[in-house]
Structure 1
Amino acid sequence: MAARPADIGGAGASAHGRGLAIALGAVLLISFDALMVRLADAPHWDIVFWRGWLICLSLGAWMVVTGTPLKLPSGRRERWLIMASVVLLSGNTTLFVLSVTYTAVANTVVILAASPFFAALFSRIFLHEAVPLRTWAAIALSVLGVVVVFGGGLQGGSVLGDSLALLLAMTVGAQLTILRRFPAVARLPLVCVSGAIAGAMAIPFSDPFSLSLSSYTVIGIMGILQMPLATVLLTVATRYLPSPEVSLCLLIETILGPIWVWWLLGEAVPSLTLVGGALILTTVAVHATLALRAERQTRLA
């Protein structure tokens, strides 16, 4: 017997609610990332070392348990692009830790919020995808917001950390562009390998066996539980939610991240970061909402 429309709608609503709960859980975990880096109270290269290798080991164990395969594209050029994506992802791990070390947490997460627009720009340049007018407008407003945040960095002497955050937003956008080119490639193996690369890159600059017990505890929670679990949850959430809606959920991390650091460590948010952040967050939220509405209209049509 054919299902009634009400039944279909109910199932869809249930799946959507499940996906939303999973995505929000992942975002809540990610929002503690900058706080954990601060609480580790360790040299940044030591954090990169342990964070990278622990993410690699924990996700590797998860893939063994679940039997997750690593399927690469058949063409040589495509495989080189996937390798570039892994290198970029490992660089993202390093850049985040370095940026949080040298500037306010709010500056890092606010500038990072502009990464989807770098992805749109790179998609236009390298994948020749049409970019809607709303996205170009959002890119322009986000760039303005980043400039405002940089103004605060110039006043507070954190221009290095802000520059690293801007580079991070670019590399995240580039990595998202490559993954968009290969939607069938499993994400977890890429994150796992990128963790090993980040850990290996930190070896010449780190002294990972000289930390305190408290530092090892915080880094262990970060590398074994927090980030791997958040990565798995985000991957599962994309089965139930369209990508614009997942991106909209990720905005919550931009707000919560500085709040945790301010609440527990007393790190103030620079005034210009509040202005630039409000501009970027509003822009990303409006853009994601419009994109989600357009996607729903396309599905209905």
Structure 2
Amino acid sequence: MAAADQIGLSGPAAHGRGLAIALGAVLLISFDALMVRLADAPHWDIVFWRGWLICLSLGAWMLVSGKRLRLPPGRRDRWLIAASVVLLSGNTTLFVLSVTHTAAANTVVILAASPFFAALFSRIFLREQVPLRTWAAIALAVIGVVVVFGGGLQGGSVLGDSLALLLAMTVGAQLTILRRFPAVPRLPLVCVSGAIAGTMAIPFADPFSLSVSSYAVIGVMGLFQMPLATVLLTVATRYLPSPEVSLCLLIETILGPIWVWWLLGEAVPSLTLAGGALILTTVTVHASLALRAERQAWPV
């Protein structure tokens, strides 16, 4: 199998497609904080319903469309795919546990380290060269996130901060594994990960005690928003190196508070605007430089 098929698709057209898919996923994910706020339900109940609704919606779509999971032939590769599913299902749970045990600002700032782990894992395990511009963009974007939450950092606990660091590592690892297998269909992986997340929440959830409005919001979240966002995010790894996908995710840190401000009237602090401008500018410039480099490497 050719190297491009084994690691990912290449060329300026593929790179542009990957950026569009990743940014579309980030746009959908950015509504997550607003949807959770509107649901007004315990976190574990949200994890339960979102996981199982993602499984239900994508499972129904696979039945209609005939999508099937095609695993790579090697036993080692199949174990890696299984690991990516477990990592994907565990991300939401780790986020909830971290926020429960430490300040939310601490969790988000530590989670901003995920592009570093994605770049590191891609370099070590995929032998992908991470351009200097990507390392520089990651550093600038992380500075932007620190600016956003700098005024609200509070003392956290070792447990909560450690869980946030583990979450940053699992996000980077999961994107890197999927980057390794561009030909594996993403829908079945996300479907199974939803079932695992819903199952993990069972001991801690009371899912049948919510209000009608909570069920409505969670329904939109679990049946439409998060399934589509997660599938787009995983598909983006076919076209982009995992550090770039993870870098795009930092935009959600800015858009999330803006949607809450716009629809719920919560003021956006000036630090959020300043840090957001830095992050958006960094991602835009990096995407432009990356596309230019691709066009130079793949002349028409």
TM-score exceeds 0.5: yes
* Compared CA separation, residues 82 and 73, structure 1 to 2 (3 A): same
1:243 to 229, 240, 244: 240
State the distance in 2 between where 1:18 and 1:123 align: 20
State the distance in 2 between where 1:18 and 1:238 align: 11
Contact 1:111-1:146 at 8 Å conserved across structures: no
* Compared CA separation, residues 259 and 158, structure 1 to 2 (3 A): farther
State the distance in 2 between where 1:288 and 1:166 align: 26
Alignment correspondent of 1:58: 57
State the distance in 2 between where 1:24 and 1:68 align: 25
1:300 CA displacement: 1.4
Contact 2:71-2:78 at 8 Å conserved across structures: yes
State the distance in 1 between where 2:68 and 2:278 align: 41
TM-score (norm: length of structure 1): 0.76
What does 1:176-187 correspond to in 2, within 5 Å?
176-187=175-186
Query: Does 2:259 align with 1:296?
Result: no
Query: What are the superposed Cα offsets for residues 30-76 of structure 1, whole Å, 9 maximum, x if unpaired?
Result: 33221101111111011000000000110011111111110111112
Q: 28-37 vs 94-103, which deviates more?
A: 94-103
State the distance in 1 between where 2:82 and 2:172 align: 16
Alignment correspondent of 2:219: 220
What does 1:1-301 correspond to in 2, within 5 Å?
26-97=25-96, 108=108, 115-148=114-147, 151-155=150-154, 167-231=166-230, 243=240, 253-270=252-269, 272-300=271-299
Contact 1:145-1:280 at 8 Å conserved across structures: yes
* Compared CA separation, residues 298 and 17, structure 1 to 2 (3 A): closer
TM-score (norm: length of structure 2): 0.77
1:198 CA displacement: 0.5
Query: What are the superposed Cα offsets for residues 113-140 of structure 1, whole Å, 9 maximum, x if unpaired?
Result: 6644431221112222222222222333
State the distance in 2 between where 1:268 and 1:77 align: 50
1:149 CA displacement: 5.1
Query: What are the superposed Cα offsets for residues 75-132 of structure 1, whole Å, 9 maximum, x if unpaired?
Result: 1211111111001111123344556777669984x77566444312211122222222
1:173 CA displacement: 1.4
State the distance in 1 between where 2:62 and 2:144 align: 39
SS in 2 for 1:300: coil
Identity across the alignment (%): 87
* Compared CA separation, residues 67 and 260, structure 1 to 2 (3 A): same
- Structure 1: state its 5+ residue gaps: 1-11
Query: Which one-letter code corresponds to 2:53 in the other structure?
Result: L
Query: Which one-letter code corresponds to 2:92 in the other structure?
Result: T
1:168 CA displacement: 3.5
* Compared CA separation, residues 137 and 246, structure 1 to 2 (3 A): closer
1:23 CA displacement: 6.9
Higher Cα Rg, which structure? 1
SS in 2 for 1:42: coil
- Structure 2: state its 5+ residue gaps: 1-11
Q: 258-267 vs 110-119, which deviates more?
A: 110-119
SS in 1 for 2:153: helix
Count of aligned residue pairs for this structure pair: 286
* Compared CA separation, residues 43 and 96, structure 1 to 2 (3 A): same
1:258 CA displacement: 1.5
